[in-house]
Amino acid sequence: MKTIQVAIADDQMLFRKGMISIVNSFEGIEITIEAENGKQLLQGLEAIFHKPDVVLLDLSMPQFNGVETAKVLHKNYPNIKIIVLSVYNEDLFVSHLMDLGVNAYLYKNVEPREVEEAIRTVIEKDFYFNDAFLKALKNRTNGKKPKLLIQDDIPSILTHREIEVLDLICKQHTAQEIADKLFISTRTVDGHRNNLLEKTGVRNTAGLVVFAIKNGLVDPNALL
């Protein structure tokens, strides 16, 4: 099994060193880059040939904060998964970062086992949503009439099969699991996923889940 390589950027040395020790204790996962800010992280990525699979990214950093760094990572290194580590739990802020293409959002007080689960899940399924995130998104949409993010009615833009695939994506099924459930090939699943990304204008699978919840295509309570 291939070792999952992880980079971490956090300006708090004690927290960063503690996270490095914790992550390196996970089987088959290792920290390959550490940085104290976004600028240093991006310089480190430019200097190496084999890029990490995942970046653990703090939000409040000098010289390129987490939001600025996430934008550059998504543009220049689209295959790297981004897991934000933050003390901020404002509902609007959490879902905004998902709109930017972040693959997971963890509060800094989570248990180490959840960090490991998030790393492995974003590699396997492209996103990791915990109860805290889903509750934040639910609070944003609770009592509000869904507002379409694409023009015209969603059913006329997304096919019945695309909506089925989107529903299964939201329930965190892998491409193989979706293929098995719908009796189609994984290549066809990937094709539907790409069509969904293009039609909705979101950046990644995490964005598709946010889109589906915001537009009332899936009940966040069903995902908790």
**Tens digit of pLDDT for each residue in 114-156?**
999 999 999 999 999 887 777 777 776 665 544 444 444 665 6
Q: Are residues 34 and 133 in the same domain?
A: yes
Number of domains in the chain: 2
Domain holding 34, by residue range, is 4-139
Residues 124 and 185 in one domain: no
What is the pTM for the complete model shown?
Answer: 0.84
**Does residue 17 lie within any of the structural domains?**
yes
The token duo for 60 is 């409040």
Other beta carbons less than 10 A from residue 82's beta carbon: 24
Angle between helices 160-170 and 205-214 in degrees, nearest 10: 110
Two structure tokens written together for 152 = 């015209």
> End of a domain among 122, 139, 156?
139
Q: How many Å is the Cα radius of gyration of the chain?
A: 18
CATH number, domain containing residue 57: 3.40.50.2300
> pLDDT by residue (tens digit) across 166-195?
999 998 899 999 999 999 999 999 999 999
Asked if the structure places residue 135 within a domain, the reply is yes
